[in-house]
Amino acid sequence: MLHNFHVLDVIEKKKLDGILHGFTEVCGIASFIVDPDGQPISDEHRWTTLCSDYCRSTEEGRRRCYESDRYGGEMSAKLKKRFIYPCLNAGLIDCTSPIIVGKYHIGTFMCGQVLYKPIDEDLAIEHAREIGITDVEGYLKAIEKIPIMSHERLDSVVRFMEVVTGTISELAWSRYISSRQSRRYIDSLINRVSDSIIAIDADGKISMVNEAFSRIAGQGKEQIIGQAFLRYISDDNSMASYEESLKMVRQKGHGRASLDIVNAMNQSTPVQAAIAETRDENKDLGYVAVLRDMSEEMRIAKLKEDLTGMMTHDLGNPILSIQKAMQLLSSKLLGPLSQGQEEIIGLTIGTCQQLYRMVMDYLDIYRHENGRFLLRKHMLDMRDVVHESIKQIKLLAEEKGVSIRYDSPSIPLTLMGDQTRLLRVCLNLLGNAIKYNPEQGEIAVQTLLVDRDDKIMHEATSPGNGSHQHATRLNQQYVLTMISDRGSGIEKKFQEAIFEKFFTLKEEKREKRAGVGLGLPFCKLAVEAHKGFIWVKSPIHVDENCGCRLYFALPAEEKVHLDPFKIIC
């Protein structure tokens, strides 16, 4: 017998039962299919009451039935044809015909449960007691219902059974060949995959690998199969990661691990492993793992880290140096300046500040993505932050002829925050408003306190406006800042996307508002790091279908009376 090969691997049970049903309807006797060990693998078709309710109702009876069916299957497989014999349990006449795939016996077609002549009652009673039947009277009545069939009639039925079994064997062989071809095709696909794929058995040994893992390990597949997978794990950190991932697999069915795979030359390759649980035909636990070579990703990450260092040091420091030099000239310590020179120096300082903010925005986003973004909080007044941001960007606004109007509220707007980051948030939002505002236009800035139940805070947590949509805190007040312009606005479908890193829009009109690269993503990062919200509303001038208002709300430090400042919605 082919090890672990089963008739149901090549023929569906539903199809087998359909064949048996048709056979039973034509021949009028019991039929079923068993595996080579005598265990039933099909439904019972037209079984006699004696077999179903008595002979197989006790442990000893079932043992004898399985032994009898196994014996009949072995004999028919040995003879390679039908075999008729009295069963080893009740003495009924059974018939077997082997299901053979190639040269392997994978199952047995059985029919019968008939008699050539009635069984002697004393022998029947003795048999019933041997297998532990207590209802002997019922047992005898069941024997009386057993069909009596002539040798000639049974022989013709069995010849027909042999034809049906041959058809089943041919169907199984066809499916087997098709399955082998499919497996070869799958093997071909697996070996073409760039990621390594391995199977690990219950003993931790590799039972299957593809060509990609063979290349990483520097060995042929025949050398790898049978080796312990742990042999290819190179260090303690990888070992710990692998063991932790197996715990996750046992809990959830899947897990991940970061490993260094060592090859025959003791060279290691970093991989990211996705591991899943699998079970073989014996229900033994094993694992299948997909290993992605991370060498190129780690090289790119190193380049990214080097780029970040270049931007923050090699680029950031010269910008600061230029800015300090311009500030020294602006102070007139080195001599008087003409009005034109002062204007040029002022524009240069503004440009340096803008470049430096871009560098810092990139650095903070990088820190956030690598879990190193930290706030340096202290008590501050949001009015001071807004005033400082307007002061720093005033020259840029004047260059375009844009005015900035800020009506500062009378009450303090105190909160715990990182002043440097919040100042950059305001500068980014004001810079965008200036960029997209028409010349000689106006930018309106407002700051005020609102309750969590205020209408505008419900707008902050509604979907589709770019906010994070997390819940506001009970009894929490928020310092709300609004910056409005009269530019061309932002289409509704892009109002969430503008906060994505490096988002850009290709528009026919050059003055159309586009993505801002890193500025708005940094604003979202900084505001949400303060447990706040940022969102957009556009258009705000419905009659003109233009204008844009950026909002951001930060948790206030303590409960105070609201300023009676009208909220613009």
SS3 83: strand
State mean pLDDT over 514-522.
70
Q: For residue 542, give Cα distances in angstroms to 442, 511, 538.
A: 17, 19, 9
Residue 236 in contact with residue 205, Cβ under 8 Å?
no
Confidence tier at 406 by pLDDT (50, 70, 90): very high
pLDDT of residue 565: 45
SS3 5: coil
Residue 26 burial class via C-beta count within 10 angstroms: exposed 0-12, middle 13-18, buried 19 and up: exposed
Look at the domain 194-293 and name its fold: Beta-Lactamase (3.30.450)
Residue 415 in contact with residue 555, Cβ under 8 Å?
yes
Give the separation between CA 314 and CA 91, rounded to whole angstroms.
96
Give the separation between CA 430 and CA 353, rounded to whole angstroms.
13
Confidence tier at 110 by pLDDT (50, 70, 90): very high
SS3 331: coil
DSSP symbol at 361: H
Closest among 433, 478, 473, 463 to 535, alpha carbons compared? 463
pLDDT of residue 542: 75
pLDDT of residue 569: 39
SS3 276: strand
Q: Which of the pair, 266 or 61, is modelled with greater confidence?
A: 61
Q: Which of the pair, 569 or 353, is modelled with greater confidence?
A: 353
Give me the DSSP letters along 303-323.
HHHHHHHIIIIIIHHHHHHHH
**Of all helices (H) and strands (E), which one includes residue 352?**
helix 339-369
Buried b (16+ CB within 10 A) or exposed e, 347-370: ebbbbbbbbbbbbbbbbbbbebee
pLDDT of residue 1: 39
Give the separation between CA 522 and CA 70, rounded to whole angstroms.
75
Give the tens place of pLDDT for each residue, 6-64.
Answer: 777 777 888 888 889 999 988 889 999 999 999 998 999 999 999 999 999 999 999 99
pLDDT of residue 473: 63
pLDDT of residue 440: 86
CATH top-level class of 7-181: alpha beta
Residue 532 burial class via C-beta count within 10 angstroms: exposed 0-12, middle 13-18, buried 19 and up: buried
CATH top-level class of 378-555: alpha beta
Confidence tier at 134 by pLDDT (50, 70, 90): very high
DSSP strand pairing (442-451 vs 477-485): antiparallel
Closest among 22, 12, 32, 36 to 171, alpha carbons compared? 12
Confidence tier at 524 by pLDDT (50, 70, 90): very high
Lowest-pLDDT range of 156-170, 319-333, 482-496: 319-333
Lowest-pLDDT range of 260-264, 329-333, 462-466: 462-466
Contacts 24+ apart (CB under 8 A), 372-376: 373/525, 373/529, 375/417, 375/418, 375/421, 375/529, 375/530, 376/418, 376/420
For the chain, counts of helices (H) and of strands (E): 16, 16
Residue with tokens 């312009």: 485
Give me the DSSP letters along 470-487.
PPPPTT-EEEEEEEEE-S
pLDDT of residue 564: 45
Residue 45 forms beta bridges with which residues?
A: 31
Confidence tier at 324 by pLDDT (50, 70, 90): confident
Give the separation between CA 78 and CA 80, rounded to whole angstroms.
5
Give the tens place of pLDDT for each residue, 293-316.
Answer: 888 888 877 777 766 666 665 666
pLDDT of residue 234: 75
Q: Would you state the structure tokens that stand for residue 189, as one six-digit string?
A: 């696909």
Give the separation between CA 82 and CA 104, rounded to whole angstroms.
16
Three-state SS letters, 136-177: HHHHHHHHHCCCECCHHHHHHHHHHHHHHHHHHHHHHHHHHH
pLDDT averaged over the chain? 83
Give the separation between CA 323 and CA 316, rounded to whole angstroms.
11
pLDDT of residue 504: 63
Contacts 24+ apart (CB under 8 A), 249-253: 249/275, 249/276, 249/277, 249/287, 250/277, 253/277
pLDDT of residue 389: 92
Residue 481 forms beta bridges with which residues?
A: 447, 552
Q: What is the dihedral of CA 312, 317, 318, 321, to 10 degrees?
A: 150
Confidence tier at 474 by pLDDT (50, 70, 90): low
Task: Please give the share of the chain, as a percent, with pLDDT higher than 70.
Answer: 86
Closest among 18, 20, 49, 24 to 34, alpha carbons compared? 20
Residue 84 forms beta bridges with which residues?
A: 95
pLDDT value at 514 more than 60: no
